[in-house]
Amino acid sequence: MISTENTEKMVALTVFGEFTLADYKEFEDVVNYHIQFEGQVDLLFDLRQMVGFTLDVAWEEIKFSRQHAGDFRRIAVLTEDQWLTWSAWVSQLFVTADVRVFDDEDEARAWLAADEAAEAAQ
């Protein structure tokens, strides 16, 4: 099960339990809509309550990342799991975005907001 939050500059995704292909497709729909009407987007993945994911989600994530390689500015990943941290690092191979891993949500949101504030000042 997932929960999404969509603002002008950011899409946030929280995963509860197992991350399924249906969940990922729902996330893709939100991001695709945002990209179509708002342009580049920052992503916040909260994976702290995720207990696992299906293999088809991993494959879909690779395809989606390659398809949207230039559509993301920054990607913040919230997790305390070392495997997910490594996975976030590997995903940098498929996107031009700055990807960082956090264990504190306030820090992750502040990092994303700092980027927005800098752009607004220019």
Cα-based distances in Å from 28 to 71, 72, 83, 103, 119: 12, 13, 23, 24, 26
Q: Could you tell me the domains of the chain?
A: 2-116 (3.40.50.10600)
Give the burial class of 16: count Cβ atoms within 10 A of its Cβ; 0-12 exposed, 13-18 middle, 19 or more buried: middle
User: Can you give the pLDDT at residue 117?
Assistant: 54
CA 87, 45, 15, 19 torsion: positive or negative? negative
Structure tokens at 84: 């997910």
Structure tokens at 49: 């309550």
pTM value is 0.85
User: Can you give the pLDDT at residue 80?
Assistant: 83
User: Can you give the pLDDT at residue 90?
Assistant: 55
Sheet bearing 72-78, strands edge to edge? 2-6, 10-19, 41-53, 72-78, 98-102
pLDDT digits (tens), the chain, 122 positions: 999 999 888 999 999 999 999 999 999 999 999 999 999 999 999 999 999 888 898 888 888 988 998 999 998 989 887 666 556 655 665 678 888 889 999 999 999 998 555 555 54
